[in-house]
Amino acid sequence: MSVPPLTFVTSSPHKRREAQQILGFRLTTRRLHLNEIQGLDLATVARHKASEAARLLGRPVLVEDTALELHAVGGFPGPLIRWLLEAAGPQALPRLLAGFTDRGATARCIAVVRAGDFEWVGSGMVEGVIVDAARGVEGFGWDVVFAPVWGGGRTYAEMPAAEKNARSHRFLALDALRRQLVEARLSWLSPA
């Protein structure tokens, strides 16, 4: 299938850098204000955003959406994590869990490529815990307070990018997506 180059719809240079490292091919980026439907599962939200972005740009797009679900509070903030971070920062997560013994959290990512009528979806999930205080300097967003179960107690922000990007929720989603795109033999899969 021959299609125009892929555009990653994001305003985050951090996400672009991670996505390029994980996918292994070049991405152009475009910032778009997309209406985000809420109250639905993360996959539905991401697929809607990809459909809207492809319609607005008239070209193939990649959209990625992330959720962080805190077990003690019924999965909140989930896909609303972006707005919680913008309003209160990552340290709000440990404060939110003050008084709870359950510090468990699930990090989820859905990555969607939409090209015309074609759609590919990758998903990833990593279990972990929210630590008591921010630790580390790598990464972005809530990386300073999320310690994946496989990280030996370290937060994402305490890991080198290569280590995080080899096992994170975003890696799992983008890698699943990458395998689908390679199988589809899309023309814009060129090395980064």
| pLDDT single digits (tens) 95-105 | 999 999 999 99
Compute the chain's Rg from CA coordinates. 17
The CATH number assigned to the domain with range 7-184 reads 3.90.950.10
Q: In a 3-state reduction of DSSP, which class is residue 129?
A: strand
Domain ranges of the chain: 7-184
The answer to whether 132 and 90 have CB atoms below 8 angstroms apart is: no
Count of helix runs (H) and strand runs (E) in the chain: 6, 7
State the chain's mean pLDDT as an integer: 89
Residue 97 or 16, more confident: 97
- Total Cβ atoms within 10 A of residue 58: 9
Q: In a 3-state reduction of DSSP, which class is residue 160?
A: coil
What is the pLDDT averaged over residues 96-123?
95
Which tokens in the block code for residue 176?
């699943």
Residue 84 or 6, more confident: 84
